[in-house]
């Protein structure tokens, strides 16, 4: 019996950070143990905001190197660039015929831009390109082309996956056949939202990220910028409301966590000491991956080879799916 399919992608819009790792890379790679996995670099999604070709290329390499440094096996998982599978965009066109404008109006990414424009006295659609507006439809094409069963996503992407389901169900209902597999969201509940430097969700939009592969000295310097309250060294502190401890739990063993928790509650622990503890466990965890990532970024030829092979595998699968859909829709 064939295994179920898992699919997800990540936009090359900034250097991968801790939020990306725990929210996307790590759980997605773990899925490869039980699923056939298709993972892509969403460069056409990124084109909505990245207009510099050199930046786009370099960030795409960074994402590819991150997948591999974090443990993705290209022999067991398909990894490719979205732009290298043209059938995706044909499916995108098909899906647009079944996606209502009202549905797109409700997409949180679009609504957030509109709301910001209104608050700043601008036209509601100022700076909104059609690519941003139809982002959920292209995302649906990325997923549905593989008959994906599950999609590992962050909580902020669950709504877009629900839109994928809505569009797929519309097509299946219209043709009275299960032409498209209905995917399910797979949200990693253990980690939830990863805390950024300022206590908010770690996000490139908030400029509060901790890049995943910072050199050791820069990593420590960045950790020391984490926002804390004004409590003195002598005061007991609550680890459950602390940005530093929230990150510490992601890297430390249960024994290490319990030990630091006791030190928080007893008093006598300064914020600088807490941040140093975080740095030490984080650096120990990330160092092996950082070394592999740096080596991969020095070998772009190898990265190109892996991505090309992945695109060939993806195209073979999606070509068959599109041939099937064309026949079912009566367009070919």
Tell me the catalytic residues. Answer: 118, 201, 204
Report residue 178 as tokens.
């299960």
Q: Is the dihedral of CA 89, 93, 99, 104 positive or negative?
A: positive
């Amino acid at each position: 019996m064939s295994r179920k399919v898992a699919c997800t992608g990540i936009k090359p819009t900034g250097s991968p950070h801790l939020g990306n790792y725990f929210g996307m890379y790590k759980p997605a790679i773990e899925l490869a143990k039980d699923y056939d996995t298709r993972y892509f670099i969403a460069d056409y999604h990124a084109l909505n905001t990245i207009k510099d070709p050199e930046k786009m290329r370099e960030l795409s390499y960074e994402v590819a190197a991150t997948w591999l440094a974090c443990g993705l096996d290209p022999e067991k998982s398909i990894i490719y660039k979205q732009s290298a599978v043209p059938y995706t965009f044909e499916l995108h066109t098909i899906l647009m015929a079944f996606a209502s404008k009202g549905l797109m109006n409700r997409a949180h990414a679009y609504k957030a831009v509109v709301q910001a424009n209104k608050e700043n006295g601008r036209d509601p659609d100022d700076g909104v390109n059609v690519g941003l507006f139809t982002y959920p439809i292209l995302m649906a094409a990325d997923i549905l082309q593989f008959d994906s069963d599950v999609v590992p996503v962050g909580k902020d992407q669950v709504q877009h996956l629900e839109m994928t389901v809505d569009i797929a169900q519309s097509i299946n209902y219209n043709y009275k056949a299960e032409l498209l597999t209905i995917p399910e969201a797979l949200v990693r509940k253990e980690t939830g939202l990863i805390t950024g430097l300022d206590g908010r969700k770690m996000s490139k939009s908030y400029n509060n990220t901790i890049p995943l592969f910072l050199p050791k000295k820069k990593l420590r310097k960045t950790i020391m910028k984490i926002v804390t309250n004004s409590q003195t060294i002598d005061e007991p502190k609550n680890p459950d409301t602390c940005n530093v401890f929230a990150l510490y739990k992601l890297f430390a063993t249960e024994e290490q966590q319990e030990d630091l928790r006791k030190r928080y509650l007893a008093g006598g622990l300064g914020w600088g000491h807490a941040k140093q503890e975080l740095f030490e466990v984080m650096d120990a965890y990330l160092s092996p991956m950082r070394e592999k990532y740096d080596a991969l970024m020095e070998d772009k030829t190898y990265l190109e080879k892996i991505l090309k092979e992945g695109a060939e595998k993806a195209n073979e699968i999606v070509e068959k799916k599109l041939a099937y859909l064309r026949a079912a829709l009566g367009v070919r």
